[in-house]
Amino acid sequence: MEILDKQPCLACHEKTVTLTEETREVPHFGRCYLMSMTCNSCHYHSSDIQLEKKDNPRKYTFTVEKEDDLKVRVIKSGEAIVKIPQFRMSVTPGPSSIGYISNIEGVIRRFKKIVEDQRDTAEDPEVKKTAKNLLKKFWKVECGELKLKIVIEDPSGNSAIISDKVVISKK
């Protein structure tokens, strides 16, 4: 693991950023590079994952059908779009987009966090109501009572859902 301290921050420009790069062997992918930067002053954080070998654009579709599916490993690059079509939700890449290694539960938690923030900060009662209903649906998914399709579209081919149930297509 390589660590560089006291680098300038992209957000606050203080020299309080720690850069890390780690190489890791990931099953089904081989060597991956995990990179992150964290500012100790303003708490800006960014991370990404790159595979040693490049691949073609891919679309991964996975249906969560039972509680055990929440444990399925997910690799998301900073370029990937993550969608939950039945909830009309997506997270698209942008300047602050991050790559990560997680599982389906972690992906769902990221979406839940967005919905919880809307519920807690929205002034419009309809927005709050919609957020509460979505959170109930997420809860049913986590309990295995509701099926949920998760789609990852990655133009770099550096993302994956590692399961025999995943449907992989060319983007």
Q: What's 154's domain CATH number?
A: 2.60.120.1040
Query: Which of 44-58, 95-109, 130-144, 151-165 is the least confident region?
Result: 44-58
Please measure the distance between the N-terminal and C-terminal CA atoms of the chain and give it in whole angstroms.
Answer: 33
Domain range for 69: 54-171
- For 24, the 3-state DSSP assignment is strand
**In terms of domains, do 25 and 90 share one?**
no
**In terms of domains, do 10 and 81 share one?**
no
Span 130-134, average pLDDT:
96
Q: What is the pLDDT of residues 44-54, one digit of tens each?
A: 988 887 777 77
The CATH number of the domain where 36 resides is what?
2.20.25
From residue 11, alpha-carbon distances to 19, 20, 34, 45, 95 in Å are 14, 18, 21, 10, 12
CB-based burial label for 28 (10 Å; 0-12, 13-18, 19+): exposed
Question: Among 59, 77, 87, which Cα is nearest to 151's?
Answer: 59
**Mean pLDDT over each residue of the chain, to the nearest integer:** 91
**In terms of domains, do 38 and 79 share one?**
no
**In terms of domains, do 102 and 78 share one?**
yes
**In terms of domains, do 24 and 80 share one?**
no
**In terms of domains, do 48 and 58 share one?**
no
**In terms of domains, do 94 and 159 share one?**
yes
- How many structural domains comprise the chain? 2
- pTM assigned to the model: 0.77
